Structure formats: structure tokens, C-alpha cells
Structure 1
């Protein structure tokens, strides 16, 4: 159902901390014009947990305006299942094409609770669902056993696999075949996951470098692995910025430097300063100075 490069977009703010819809539209259109296959709003990178439900729905509506006939997916990541279900219902009414669902964010659910939570949210929204499995960030591992248990509900269509264990990609395919659209969610494991059989990439650094991200994906799918690997090796220092406590600040600073956006974040986050900022600036500067010429691809 879903495949390709689907960016997890950043949420843009004005200086007074209100939503900057004009800048979001500019950035979102840049991604779609570069060949991305949909957008995911209000995830971890999109600072979703720091937005009200009303703000998230407003971002979703803009996202859908930009994606047109491609999927606009809203992230659901709530502490309480009832709040997650309420947001899922609002997303469906607002025209979302699907949901990306995090099982829990505060209480770390066990196997039975994780499955029950995911089923409840899927039923509330009655939309296609991408299950977000990220045991490092959220301390809840949606295991292959859980995916097999959930496979009886057709609303679960995809998995964003972010366990940081590349073996999991093969385990899911060996157990469940093509039952789920399998996305890699770790930027600096993307080449490895895509060549192991993942069908898509929920990407982060794509927001500043969409042409390179799309090129890697399409070249791999065309079997042009060496050309994709050359770009990926150039990209790796940037992709590493996604795997960090400061991923939001990192990537927003990259956007500011690479596409003339800004690095405003919502408190308690603050923009990077000192050595952290200097490091990102150096990575971006070096990468831009050595930016590869992309080969032609379809």
C-alpha cells in the first residue's frame, strides 16, 4: 500500500511560537517536488508530543493539501490510550490517509498491553496504520511475534522498523513475507535495510536533502547498488545526526543551513549552541562542499 521515501517532516514555528504555515508549505512542497512518496506529520522529528491536538490537526490538513493523491499520515503518540484514540478519530475526520502509531510514550507497555493499545487506536481511527517500533527511543519493542499477532487486522498495513538491529528486517520478512509494507526508520541504516528487503524509508535528513534521499532509494530499487552506495557514503555524516538525543535541533539546523529555513523549536527544547552547534555546522559545510552530482534515474 505504501512504499518509497516518506519524510517525517519538521513542524515550523514563528518567533512567537505559533505555527508557521507558510514555511511549512514551502518545505513540504520542496519534498514532494523532489519525488517523495508522501509525508508523515507530527512525529518525533515533528515535535508532535509538544503540539496540542488542534495544532496537529492543522498541520495534518496542510500536509494533505500538499501531498494531493499521495499519503498524508499523522503520527499518534500519546501517554493515554483514550487520548490516542481521540486523536485518531480527529485525524480520520480531517482527511488523513493513515496513521503512524507509537504504542505508548510514558508507561512502557508489556506484550499484551502493547497489542491491546495498537488494536484500540486502529479501531478508533479506522484508517491504515503504520506501526512504529522504536525500542530505543520509546522503550517499547513491537516484536515480530506482536506483528504476527496483529496481522489479522487489515488496518495494520506497514511497520516503521527502528529497533537499530538490521537483522530485524530479515526476521520480519522471513516470518511474515509481504504482509506488511516494511519501512526503515533509522537514517544511517537505510542502505542496509533497503538492500535487505525494506520497501520504504521514513526519512529524517530528507527534509534538507530530498534529491539525494530519493536517488538512493530509486537506485537501490533499480539494482544500481554501487551508485546508491556512493551517495550513501557521502550522506552518512549527515544521516548520523538523526540518531541523537538532539535529532530535532540537529535536523532543523541542517534545514536552516541547507535550504534557508530556520531552527526554531518548541520549549523545553532550545536551538543548539556552543560545541553542539559547531559540530553540525561543520558536518553541513563539509557535505555541501563535496555534494555529489546525482546520476539520472527514474
Structure 2
């Protein structure tokens, strides 16, 4: 069962550009120790797009070992249909508890094609699957219900932010005789999801990805406590003083949703290396601003704890 703050670790690389498995193990262990409710490895923040299949299998196996059965470990899968099926099988062999099925890359597909894609990937694995809607992978209400009915699909993650459409999907799935009869979960998958958590909670979606947990679990957990206990004053303070400035910095450069997170992990003392092209590491002035934003966020958490 997934609950609480969901941790999406970065994938560390060595100076020679190989995956640094010992650092990954430490990164995952620290996150689980800090109180993550689940680990999602080799997903967007983990640069799934930049991993070849052997690296992917090593990353998933390492994360599973580091988590040690304390929380569920989900692995990313996606890309072309043959590769998505191969990643799904590799994740199962590596001990993952489930899959986050990301969109096919560089294609605009109709809803019927997306349903066929999800159907064929889920047929290749016994793992439970969360379907990720973002980019060119856009489900309408009917197709969302159709994939939710698939026996192995257990969740739907949204990275589009169209709350009107999403509200209709949530209602349709939850009232459907088949999909609504199982423990089906919805997730907020927007970049820096905390910025939209209040809006998503308004349509009944409580679970969300927290990239911030990678480098500042104390801020991520403080926000989660505030939002789940109805402490709106603290929620607004953290949004205004930390999350919204971080979002503004993230929007300066495409790909900063990943590279800023990785840079912040490095600033925290864990050498996870840089990002692989086509992403780029943050400019020096952006790194300096990132450090100021994180320091301000930690100060806010300290001040709220002392109240």
C-alpha cells in the first residue's frame, strides 16, 4: 500500500558516466530512513530516458536491496512497446513491487492507441501498474476508464494539470462498476507537485510525487504534515517561501525539473554527479539561487517547529 510522501530518487552517475550503484544505494537508504512512503526508481527524476536496459536492471535491483522491504519499490517503464515490455520484465526480475508506466516518447497517439499500449505492456508482467499521463499521452474519460478496468492497472498518475478533465476522469473511474470496485489510486505527478497539491486535493487526489524529498526530506515532510492536518497557514508559508521560488527557478530552463533536484542532492553532500544529455546541469548563478531557496525552506521548517 502506497501512502505518505513518495520518494523519486535520482540516478547517480560517476565522472566516467557509469551508474554509481553504491551512491544510489545510500541515496535510497537515506530516503527510506527519513520516512518515505514508497520509492519510485528509474522514473522521471531518475532519468529513465537516459538509461540503457542493463543499467536500468542494476538500478532497480540496487533500490530494492536498499529499501530492504520496508516500503514498496516501483520502477519506471516506457518508451517503445518492445522496450517497455522488456523493462517491465526486468523490473520484475529485479524484485520491484510495481511499475510506473510512462508515455511512449516522440509520438502523439490517439486514446485508443494508448489503451492498446497499456494493455500490451501489462500483458507482459504480473506486476501492478500505475499509468502516467503526461506530455503526448493524454487519456480522455472513456479511455481512462478502459485502462483502469485492466486487472493489473492499480493507479493513474497525472502530469498534465488539466483539473477539469481530471475531475471527470476521477469521478468516472470511481463510479465505474469494474474500476471502482478495486483499490484504485490517483496521483498528482506535476513537477514540484507540492505547488498544486491543494488544488489536486480539491478533486480527491491526495497522493503526490515529491522530488523535494530527494534533497530536503524535512521540508517535504513538513509540507505533507501541514496539508494533511489542515494547517493551511503553514502550507501557505512553505508555498510562498520555498516551493513557489523553486518552481520559478525550475521554469527558467527546460529539464531543470530533474537537474535542479540532482544539484540540490549534491549540495546536500551526496555526490550523485550531473545529468546526462540532452539535459544540462544548472548554471552557476542558478546553483547559488537554489542554495538560497533551500536554506530559506529549511529556516521556515525550523521556525514552524519552534512555534
Partner Cα distance (1:204, 1:249) in 2: 11
What displacement does 1:95 show? 1.2
Match of 1:246 in 2: 256
Residues 151/212 of structure 1: CA separation in 2 closer, same or farther (3 Å cut): same
Asked if the contact 2:129–2:152 (Cα under 8 Å) also holds between the matched residues in 1, the reply is: yes
Matches within 5 A, 1:29-48: 29-48=29-48
Which range moves more in the overlay, 261-270 or 44-53?
Answer: 261-270
Preserved contact between residue 23 and residue 270 of structure 2 (Cα < 8 Å): no
SS of equivalent residue, structure 2 residue 6: strand
Task: Return the TM-score normalized by structure 1.
Answer: 0.87
Contact 2:107 2:136 in 1 (8 A): no
**1:240, 1:201 → 2: CA distance?**
20
CA distance in 2, matches of 1:183, 1:33: 23
Shift of 1:7: 1.7
Deviation at 1:262, TM superposition (A): 4.3
Verify: 1:175 aligned to 2:172, yes or no: yes
Equivalent position SS for 1:220: helix
Contact in 2 for aligned 1:103/1:117 (Cα 8 Å): no
Q: Which residue of 1 aligns with 2:149?
A: 152
TM-aligned CA deviation for residue 278 of structure 1: 4.2
What is the aligned partner in structure 2 of residue 226 from structure 1?
Answer: 233
Equivalent-residue separation in structure 1 for 2:234 and 2:288 (angstroms) = 31
Instruction: State the SS of the aligned residue for 1:120.
Output: helix
Q: Distance in 2 between matches of 1:282 and 1:94?
A: 39
* Residue 212 of structure 1 pairs with residue 232 of structure 2: no
**1:284 to 2:294 alignment:** yes
Q: Deviations over 1:13-39 (max 9, x none)?
A: 111111112221222122112211111
- Distance between the aligned counterparts of 2:41 and 2:233, measured in 1? 32
CA distance 1:218–1:195, shift in 2 (3 Å): farther
* Post-superposition CA distance 1:107-130 (Å, at most 9, x none): 221111110001111111221111
| Larger CA deviation: 285-294 vs 246-255 | 285-294
Whether contact under 8 Å (2:101, 2:131) holds in the other structure is: yes
Q: Report the Cα distance in structure 2 between the residues aligned to 1:84 and 1:183, rounded to whole angstroms.
A: 21
Deviation at 1:234, TM superposition (A): 3.0
1:143 aligns with 2:144: no
**Pick aligned residue for 1:199 from 198, 206, 210:** 206
Q: Equivalent residue of 1:125, what SS?
A: coil
Between 240-249 and 203-212, the greater mean CA deviation after superposition: 240-249
Q: Which 5+ residue runs of structure 2 have no aligned equivalent?
A: none
The Cα offsets for residues 41-61 of structure 1, whole Å up to 9 and x where unpaired, read as 111211111111111111111
Specify every segment of 5 or more residues in structure 1 that has no aligned partner in the other structure, as ranges: none
Secondary structure of 1:124's aligned partner: coil
Structure 2 Cα separation of the partners of residues 229 and 107 of structure 1 = 38
2:282: which partner in 1? 272
RMSD: 2.4
